[in-house]
A and B are shown apart, each in its own frame.
Chain A
Amino acid sequence: MVSLDLATLSVRDANAQLRTLGEAGEDVEILNPDARHHIGVGLTAPIHVTVQGSAGYFCAGLTDQAQFNVSHNVGWGVGDNMYSGSVVVGGNAGAIPGVAIRGAEIVIKGNMGSRAGQVMKAGTLCCAGNANFMAGYMMYGGTIIILGDSGERVGEDMSGGRIFVAGKVQDLGSDAMLTDLDQKEIESIHEFLDRYGSKAPKGFSKIVSAGKKLRYGTPETPMRSIPFNTFSGHSAYWNPKVQEDIAIKAQSGRYRIRGYGGARPLPHLSDIGFRKDLTDAGTHRDVVAKVRMETEIGGINGARPLKLSMPVMIAPMSYGALSRSTKYAIAMGSAMSGIAENTGEGGMSDAQRDAAGQLIFQCLGGRLGWNIHDMRRADALEIYISQGAKPGLGGQLMAKKVTPELAQIRGIPAGIDLRSPSRHPDILGADDLVIKVEEFREATGYQVPVSVKLGAGRIRDDIKIASKDGFDFVELDGMQGSTGAGSAEVIDNVGIPTLPAIIEAVEALEEINARDKIQLVLMGGLRDGIDAVKALCLGADAVAFGTSVIVAGGCISCMQCHIGQCVTGIATQDPAHEKRYQPEVEASNIHRFLESVRWQIAAITQALGYDDVTSLNREDLVALTPEAADITGLPCEPPGSDASQRQVGVVS
């Protein structure tokens, strides 16, 4: 047994030693913990850790196999996302004990705080005392045993798993119901309690999902889809898409769900032009070799940066919304072009990891597929706060796409209409977020960049918070970004467009003198290298492409992504459809598209008079419409003026 004394050692140093001792199989005792956060975070060895005193937030978080014993209390999120192993807490636990666990055993001898076991998938959380409100909130699986009273709204919106309460069931949550226990369950509870030296009470109430909210009541009537480009605010008031919407809602009685991005015309990068005459752009042979485009993202606070061959990456899109083959093709295509791919929600696969040169691993509120092992093999981490297409809302994945295989990876019941949580269990404000960022850094030894994805909303405040909370980079997503499934009303009416988003983000950072303290990656309806150069001129350090990469890889823009029967095999989990998709062929198509982007960036940069993309700046741009001028503060030189004559579309 080795003793680590936190009176003289920082948690960061202690955790580094814990990992080494873990590999050596040495048990550890932590002295003078004094309720400090992140004790034991990221430990993946089967050792015993005894904490003599109280631990703070995320004790034993993001671990696998280790066994923890805390003599006194723990703060929020004990055992966060544990895969296996155990934690025994001698005293009380703060809010969200056992949050997002995937198989560990957590025993609290005292009382536990609110939202115990939120979004847990498997394993057992046991509390010898009373639980606070919403125990089992949005749990997907596993077992919660409460020997005292349940607290209010127990089992709120649970979609799987079981909650056993020995004391009083104060109040059932939405879509939770009482049911009978069978003998086998009683025996297994007794066996569990025996193992942890707790006395089994006489009887239990059992709470499970009532199942009324797992599926949408009325499915949407399938209709022949109206293509993306035949409707918009420019067409007639009662255009075919409006009629279709009304007809479908007359059947379903609820909001519509669709894929793809907003269809409303909004000021965008196409309303921006270049100040200079670009007639000669691209006339140089080998222009790509003449412009420096290599870009490092994420190294600003000392982590290992992403090394991009050009200031471009792939936008986060989930395995779930997209088929496994599509994610595989994008990984290959991005690697061929030397840029980074992003897992999106729903976990990382070996094939994707192997194929992608550099891979960003995305963490969402549901923690679907999130785990310490994949965090370690990621090249960057990303905390998703919201998304441009549907800020403030979680992802939606219709039952057709929630196959047993996909459900297993995410840790959820198969065949439900999955509505991912819109909020993180442990990020209720900027003050919590800073503790979360630190947990991720501890778990990955401060080696992996940590970023935040923000749907453009309250940009000025949010960007400042991102900078203060110590993120390495922000992925800022404007309203024109797409989604695999979202409410049509939200997609077209809620977000803030990409153009004002980048302007406000840059201004916000300048206001607090933090422009060099965090990097900005802009996404949301960027289509090609021309858009990319404009974004770089406006202050982005890099851009990300989502929809254009999907289109390059075979998407026909039918907007039926949510249905799950994508004819191209992209937005589907049905093997019959997926087999139409040829990952190797589409990877080459994606690669060729990305190379056209590279060529465009190089050609325009050179025509603007530079040999390095970092030289691009606002002075290179003009606004082509009064609205774009208002938004950007650029001089307005509308079509018909000299400036508009100068602007050319550079074609590769």
Chain B
Amino acid sequence: MCGIAGVMYRGGDKDFSTGEALIRMLDGCQHRGPDSTGFALYAPEAPGRLKLRFFIDPASESDDESAIAAIRQRLVDLGAAIEEEARAGDNYRVTIRYDGDVQKLSYEMEHAAKVISIGTSLEIVKDVGSAHDVDDRYHVNEFHGTHGLGHVRLATESDVKPEASHPFWATGFADVAIVHNGQITNYWKMRRRLEQRGFEFTTDNDSELIAVYLADKLAQGVKLQDALSTSIDDLDGTFSFLVSTGDEIGYAKDRLAAKPMIMYEDDELVAIASEEVSLNRLFPGRALNTREPAPGTYATWSRST
């Protein structure tokens, strides 16, 4: 039960204030979800490097330094070379050089700590509170990049905690993230089939499934738009979701259109949100020619087009 937002700026690898844009859009629809807020932010990738973010639980018994030391050690054990590291809010952020299997690294690190995201270009920031609360803690407004997703959450069936909030990173796959409004009713059935094939899930949240489902297709060489097309058939329930990869952004909407979605497109950008009020936050005082995606449809946009 939530509000979603996504933005992609056209124009290749230039830096845009995507953090600020998403804060505004989410502030516009914060009424849809007061419990937690999150951002998936993409900056141009640095070749050979991976950015990792971890939750360092402030309520944990062990102190932060030893938790971080353990993560560091684990990374080194797995063959990663640490290049840069920093604390941000309750996160530990680290850039590594790593040329091994990302899925193996992801699962190993997931077993050792709470991973938020792994990517060459993706970083996820999410925590309890409003868009402005999360910005105060993590300085999302300073983030410049090419595209990103955002989400405000009203927890209905699972707890209010940072790891249960969106965006969801596709555990095991670099750079794939989703935000979802709705409920996937064949969650366990789909999850068991993916688990049979060796995939791991880190939460019981139905939205994580969408991320892993799509990332699995992408890893098999399926195009994002084709993965979105099959998702409409394969997923049961109500959904309006946005997905992003290193260079694409896309949406899919269920056939009942139970969850709203509206979009705006011009020469500069593509923006999609649950409500027009979020889109208008990017263009105060301007009446926009928006479009409501039809039920049961999907679409993708690429940075390069």
Residues of A within 8 A of B (CB): 7, 32, 34-37, 52-54, 56-57, 71-73, 75-76, 91-92, 94-95, 111, 113-114, 132-133, 428-431, 434-435, 438, 461, 464-465, 468, 512
Contact = CB atoms under 8 A, between A and B. Distances in A.
A34 B24 CA distance: 13
Interface stretch (B41-49, B99-107, B167-175, B258-266): B258-266
A32 B288 contact: no
Contact of A56 (B160, B181, B275, B288): B275
A141 B273 CA distance: 34
B89 interface: no
Contacts of A92: 290-292
Given A73-B276, A94-B262, A461-B156, A429 B1 contact: yes
B1 A431 contact: yes
Nearest to B289: A91
26 contacts: A34-B277, A34-B281, A34-B285, A35-B276, A35-B280, A36-B277, A52-B287, A54-B287, A54-B290, A56-B275, A56-B277, A72-B289, A75-B260, A91-B287, A91-B289, A92-B292, A94-B262, A114-B257, A428-B259, A431-B154, A434-B32, A461-B156, A461-B157, A465-B1, A465-B154, A512-B160
Interface string B1-37: 1110000000000000000000000000001111100
B302 interface: no
Contact of A73 (B35, B155, B238, B290): B290
Q: Which of B259, B260, B276, B279 has the most CB of A within 10 A?
A: B276
Nearest to A511: B159
Interface string B225-268: 00000000000001000000000000000000111101000000
Contacts of B160: 512
B284 interface: yes
B281 A428 contact: no
B277 A468 contact: no
B70 interface: no
A34 B284 contact: yes
A468 B34 contact: yes
Given A429-B182, A468-B35, 9 more contacts: A7-B284, A34-B284, A35-B279, A54-B280, A56-B277, A75-B260, A435-B32, A461-B156, A465-B154
Contacts of B155: 464
A304 B46 CA distance: 60
Contacts of B281: 34
Nearest to B152: A431
A133 B295 contact: yes
Interface string B288-300: 1111101100000
A155 to B, nearest CB: 17
A114 B295 contact: yes
| Those 3 A-B pairs whose CB atoms lie nearest each other, nearest first | A35-B276, A72-B287, A34-B280
Contact of B1 (A91, A133, A430): A430
A52 B154 CA distance: 32
Contact of B154 (A57, A113, A430): A430
A468 B154 contact: yes
A113 B275 CA distance: 13
Interface in B156-200: 156-157, 160, 181-182
A138 B257 CA distance: 17
B290 to A, nearest CB: 6
Contact of A94 (B3, B279, B292): B292
B154 A428 contact: no
Given A95-B260, A468-B154, A71 B294 contact: no
Nearest to A6: B285
A192 B259 CA distance: 33
Contacts of B33: 431
B52 to A, nearest CB: 32
B193 to A, nearest CB: 26
B285 A72 contact: no
